[in-house]
Chain A
Amino acid sequence: MKAGDLGELALRNLREAVLRNSLTTLGVAVGVASLVAMLSLGVGLQELASKRLSNSGLFDTVMVMPRRNMQTMRRPAATAVPVKEAPALDDDARKTMERLPNVVEVYPQIRFPTEVRYNGNPYSTIVAGVPDSARGNGAYDGIQGSFFSGPNADEAILQIEFAKDLSEQTAGLIGKELVVRYAERQALPPQGGTGDGSGNDMSGAGGGFSIVPREKKLRIVGIIETEPAAGFGGFGSGRLLIPLEVASTLRAAQVNDLRDAVRATNGKPAYASLTVRATSPSQVEPIETAIKNMGFGTFSLLDATRNLRLFFTIFDLLLAIFGSLALAVATLGIINTLVMAILERRREIGILKALGAADRDVKQLFFVEAGVMGLFGGVLGVGFGWFIGRALTWGTNIYLHRQNLPSAHVFSVPWWLVLSAIAFAVIVSLAAGLYPATRAARLNPVEALRYE
Chain B
Amino acid sequence: MRPPTGRIAGAVLLAFILSGCSGVQSALDPKGPAAVELARLIWFFTVLCAIVWVLVMGTIAAILLRRRQRRSDPLRIDQPEERMVSRVVISAVGATAFVLVALTLLSFFANRTLAGIGENAGLTIRVTGHQWWWEVRYENAEPSRILTTANEIHIPAGEAVRFVLQSDDVIHSFWVPALHGKLDLIPGMVNTLTLRADKPGIYRGQCAEFCGAQHAHMATLVIAEPRAEFDAWYAEQLKPAAEPSSDEQRAGHDAFLNGPCVMCHRIQGTPAGAVTGPDLTHIGGRQTLAAGTLKMTRGNLAAWIADPQGIKPGSKMPVMDLDGDELNAIVAYLESLK
Q: Do the two chains belong together in a single complex?
A: no
Residues of B bordering A, CB below 8 Å:
none
